[in-house]
Amino acid sequence: MEKGMKQKYKMFFSDTVAFTISSFASKILGFLLIPLYTAVLSAEQYGVADLITNTVNVVYPIMTLSIMEATLRFAFDEKNNNTDVLNNSLFVIGIAEFIILIMCPFSNIFGKTMHDYWLWFAVIFGGFNLQEVLAQYTKGINKTKVFAIAGVIQTLVIIISNIVGLLVFKGGLTAYLLSIVLGYYLSSVYLIVAAKIRVKHFSINWELLKEMIQFSIPTIPVLVAWWINTSADKYIIIAYQGIAESGIYSVAYKIPSILAMVTSIFTSAWTISAIKNIGEEDNDEYQTNIYRFFNIVNVLVCSVLILFSKDISSILFSDSFFVAWHYVPILLVAYLFSGLSGFMASSFRAAKYTKGLFSSTVIGAIINIGLNFYCVKRFGSMGAAFTTMLGFAVVFYIRRQSMQKIVNLRINIVKDSLMYVLLLVQAIVISFEVSYSWCTAIIILILLILINYKYIFGILKTFFSMFKIKERG
């Protein structure tokens, strides 16, 4: 292995370890709270909480001009003054929060439920934006360890406050929402202190702000469309089946969050690595190798989770939520395509080709929301799960084609397509409990391992070589 390529892998691995710490805390530890949520909160209460957080996710890119997307990218550029980057970002999110506080009491755009909880929405909206800007800035100034620890702190705060609020004080939905607020704001405080963020003289660099906004604005429709792919189905379920059913369906997303954890670890580290290596002569080879590894790991993790989805659900979900397990296998396949699409999005952002994200995400969103109205009405939540999967599959396919404009990914399309078809078959037989479903699912997992065994051994060999680990006989 060439010395330069070896060093890139080492740096990528180091960043991955840091983000693993953060993601483990935010995903796995939070994942362990699912039994508490489903035991203490009603389906309706969980539906309300999910509605608030999902609404934050669709509103923030519009109101903040998606400035977080620019914070990381511009903080990396040595030509920019990092303080100016941060000041500009804080200025934008401050304006956004001010507008939200004025508009929310008088707005009924998201229905009566959101209007009743407008203050919670405003506070969570502000906390999310502040933490996100500080987190992206911290990564941009190469303090990934601080970012990772902030994720741990956020999760611990949420866990402790939920245990105290839900079990000790019986605070119900209020306690749950308060834990989210505390998690955002206390982790933000840590980021400020640990990253030594100081804003002595607050001022706006208008020229730089213009550049940042020009970069971030094209990502707004992308993020909104992405939200449609991930969350619009829940609103449609509320419309046709009620907020309680939406709460049950939302719980089904918790197991795919394990796959999302794997994805977020890689994409967080990959975003930094892709930015650092854009324009290098060996960029095509480097991106191809990382993508292949990312793809295979996600496929195998997805297959294992599908196989044990019912068993995991029986442990995590209370009786009133257990029916949600049927949606889990299909949503896992959806999250696989979502993760692969997210990987490619990082490459687009590194190349400052944000317009390249637009068409794929919007087309996927149109397909998603169009089919959801029909499928949810006719097939209920299962229709929503299949539609979400199809939407993400379309996004992935289009992005893979567009990827060739910025990097030549050398991938085996036939082999990859076979793996995805096998995963879908595995998900269907498990979800619908067809005859010999478990036996079929195991066979599919074995086939996926056999298809990739040469590459898996190659990865292990590369890993040992990279870190000079000698095998002992």
User: For 96-126, what is each residue's pLDDT tens digit?
Assistant: 999 999 988 776 666 666 778 889 999 999 9
Measured between alpha carbons, how far is 318 from 441 in angstroms, rounded to an integer? 25
**Mean per-residue pLDDT, 426-443:** 94
As a whole number of angstroms, the distance between CA 416 and CA 395 comes to 16
Q: Are 65 and 220 in contact (CB under 8 A)?
A: yes
Q: Given this model, what pLDDT does residue 268 score?
A: 74
- 94 against 346, higher pLDDT: 94
- Residue 21 scores a pLDDT above 70: no
Beta strands in 19-141 (DSSP E): none
Cβ contact 25:150 at 8 Å:
no
* CA-wise closest residue to 128 among 62, 71, 56, 195: 56
Report phi then psi at 249, rounded to 5. -65, -35
pLDDT tens string 192-234: 999 998 876 788 999 999 999 998 988 888 888 888 888 899 9
Q: Are 346 and 294 in contact (CB under 8 A)?
A: no
pLDDT at position 469: 43
* Per-residue pLDDT reduced to its tens digit, 57-92: 989 999 999 999 899 889 887 777 888 999 999 999
pLDDT tens track for 319-329: 889 999 999 99
Query: Residue 433, by phi and psi: left (phi above 0), alpha (psi -120 to 50) or beta?
Result: left
pTM: 0.80
Alpha-carbon span 145 to 269, nearest angstrom: 12
End-to-end Cα separation, the chain, in angstroms: 23
Q: Report which of 389, 353, 354 is spatially closest to residue 371, judged by C-alpha positions.
A: 389
Which has the closest alpha carbon to 93: 122, 126, 123? 126
Q: How far is CA 265 from CA 17, 63, 67, 69, 186, in A?
A: 8, 27, 22, 18, 22
Low-confidence winner among 279-283, 433-437, 464-468 (lowest mean pLDDT) = 464-468
Check: CB of residue 254 under 8 Å from CB of residue 31.
yes
* 433 residue type, one letter: E
pLDDT reading at 462 higher than 70: no
CA-based R_g, the chain, Å: 22
Contact 80, 192 (CB under 8 A): no
Supply the pLDDT for residue 466.
56
Tell me the C-alpha to C-alpha distance, in Å, between residue 193 and each of 26, 135, 185, 273: 20, 12, 13, 26
Q: Is the model's pLDDT at 422 over the cut of 90?
A: yes
Average pLDDT in the 427-445 region? 94
- Max avg pLDDT among 102-106, 263-267, 296-300, 352-356: 296-300
Q: Identify the weakest region by mean pLDDT among 153-157, 268-272, 292-296.
A: 268-272
pLDDT at 363 over 60: yes
Domain boundaries, the chain: 219-473
| Strand intervals (E) in 297-365 | none
Cα 60 to its chain centre, rounded Å, is: 15
Rounded to whole angstroms, the maximal C-alpha distance in the chain is 72
What is the model's pLDDT at position 179? 95
Could you tell me which of 53, 22, 24, 21 has the C-alpha nearest to residue 37?
Answer: 53
